[in-house]
Amino acid sequence: MKISLICGGPSPERGISLNSARSVMDHLGSEDIEIVPFYLDAEKRPYRISRAQLYSNTPSDFDFKLKETAAELSTSQFVRALADTDIVFPVMHGAYGEDGGIQKFLEKHRIPYIGSSATVCKKAFDKFTANEYLREQGFFTLPSVLLKLYGDDHADIVKNFFKQHGIRRAIVKPASGGSSIGVFSVSTPEEALEKVRLLFGKRMDTRVVVEKFAEGTEFTTIILQNRFGMPVALPPSEIETDYSEHQIFGFRKKYLPSRHVTYHCPPRFPDETIEKIQAQAEQLFALFGMQDFARFDGFVLPSGEIWFCDFNMISGMEQNSFLFQQGARVGLTHADILHYILERSCQKYGISLPDTRALKRAGRKAVSILFGGPTSERQV
């Protein structure tokens, strides 16, 4: 079996995409499953890359020598290369990866892929649109307002929003984005307007959301599909962190070592709260029409209400990601959960795939790994 693996892309999350691609390559590839990696640069130009190139340190390293070490493909060449494999696994996060962009391209050329449809991705990835859909479906939401780059007077809209809802702290963020990039905590309409103008000025988005700050405890949960197509939420992870002094669970806390964040899986919530999170997550997965897998972020508020604030259509797959942490809680290894996602996706297309898991388990031996040490190279 051959799988096309697409990583990179135009968003600031390209580095996370490379980490996800490495995990897929490491844990899904086998003698029976060949993975063919492709990289999209910041301009969405496709390149056929080698496995060795995939392990370059950062996108900057990648881009610096891309022209010399990889083969740039035309659109028709890219389509033919993808069609020459059985299925595509897109692991691009953010713009073009989770907003329906790459999905629309693959659907146009009738190429099977893992994940939800372009229409579903577009609807769920936009934070304001998704929040409005939750409200329409009767789920709890927090007050928010949408500002457009070329819209009405931003100052009046923000000032009225703060006054109408008695807001003392708010969040300003791009309507489309991930990894908390471009997300700010503010206390006044003036601060909010400053951040709105900053986001528009940097062209991070043409739509910006201002919403009431969520007082409560943050969580995230992975949703898979069983063999009958029904959504199944894994045990959520509680995110324990400090929100004082306008701190948020931002990019640095998410992806860099920190003593300021602790994860609890399962969470320290009452059982009924955990069950409520899982039940609502499964409902929303089905209501949106999602497929294969997704990750939902949210808050448990002091009132006990559950608010889902972010829908990740392609969950991060770093070695220590929530996907693998929560999978481990139900007895799944990294390889198990990736193979499961592949299996469910192949099922919907009627694609048969080899089952190498039994063979791997039969010859499995324990291997001790030593790492760390006293030098500055511990991170390596």
Each residue's pLDDT tens digit, 265-291: 999 999 999 999 999 999 999 999 999
Q: Which of 212, 231, 260 is the last residue of a domain?
A: 212
Is residue 138 a part of any domain in this protein?
Answer: no
- What does the pLDDT look like over 284-328, one tens digit per residue? 999 999 999 999 999 999 999 999 999 999 999 999 899 999 999
Q: Give CA–CA dist 260/242, Å, rounded.
A: 7
- What does the pLDDT look like over 339-372, one tens digit per residue? 999 999 999 999 988 766 554 555 667 888 898 8
Q: Give CA–CA dist 21/42, Å, rounded.
A: 17
Whether 230 and 337 map to the same domain: the answer is yes
- What does the pLDDT look like over 76-101, one tens digit per residue? 999 999 999 999 999 999 899 999 99
- Spacing of C-alpha 354 from chain mean position: 27
Least confident of 67-71, 131-135, 174-178, 242-246: 242-246
DSSP letters spanning 134-166: HHHTT-----EEEEETTSS-HHHHHHHHHHHHT
CATH of residue 257? 3.30.470.20
Residue 260 pLDDT class (50, 70, 90 cuts): low
Q: What percent of the chain has pLDDT over 90?
A: 64
Is residue 235 a part of any domain in this protein?
Answer: yes
CATH of residue 190? 3.30.1490.20
Is residue 66 a part of any domain in this protein?
Answer: yes
Q: Say if residue 39's pLDDT is above 80.
A: yes
Whether 249 and 197 map to the same domain: the answer is no
Q: Say if residue 248's pLDDT is above 60.
A: no
Whether 70 and 179 map to the same domain: the answer is no
What pLDDT is recorded for position 178?
56
Q: Which of 191, 212, 233 is the last residue of a domain?
A: 212
What pLDDT is recorded for position 356?
61
Q: Could you tell me the end-to-end alpha-carbon distance of the chain, in angstroms, rounded to an integer?
A: 33
Specify the pTM. 0.87
Is residue 206 a part of any domain in this protein?
Answer: yes
Whether 204 and 229 map to the same domain: the answer is no
Whether 185 and 103 map to the same domain: the answer is no
- Spacing of C-alpha 88 from chain mean position: 17
Q: What is the mean pLDDT of residues 144-172?
A: 90
Total domain count, the chain: 3
Is residue 20 a part of any domain in this protein?
Answer: yes
What pLDDT is recorded for position 254?
46
What pLDDT is recorded for position 53?
85
Whether 270 and 184 map to the same domain: the answer is no
Whether 237 and 338 map to the same domain: the answer is yes
What pLDDT is recorded for position 253?
46
| Domain span holding position 301 | 217-354
CATH of residue 44? 3.40.50.20
Bridge partners of 299?
Answer: 218, 307
Is residue 160 a part of any domain in this protein?
Answer: yes
Whether 173 and 296 map to the same domain: the answer is no
Is residue 326 a part of any domain in this protein?
Answer: yes
What pLDDT is recorded for position 247?
57
Whether 222 and 201 map to the same domain: the answer is no
Is residue 365 a part of any domain in this protein?
Answer: no
- What does the pLDDT look like over 111-156, one tens digit per residue? 999 999 999 999 999 999 999 999 999 999 999 999 998 877 889 9
Whether 179 and 53 map to the same domain: the answer is no
Residue written as token pair 């494999």 = 85
Whether 223 and 194 map to the same domain: the answer is no
Whether 102 and 150 map to the same domain: the answer is no
Angle of the 271-288 helix axis to the 118-125 helix axis, nearest 10:
130
Q: What is the mean pLDDT of residues 157-177?
A: 90
Q: Which of 124, 153, 181 is the last residue of a domain?
A: 124
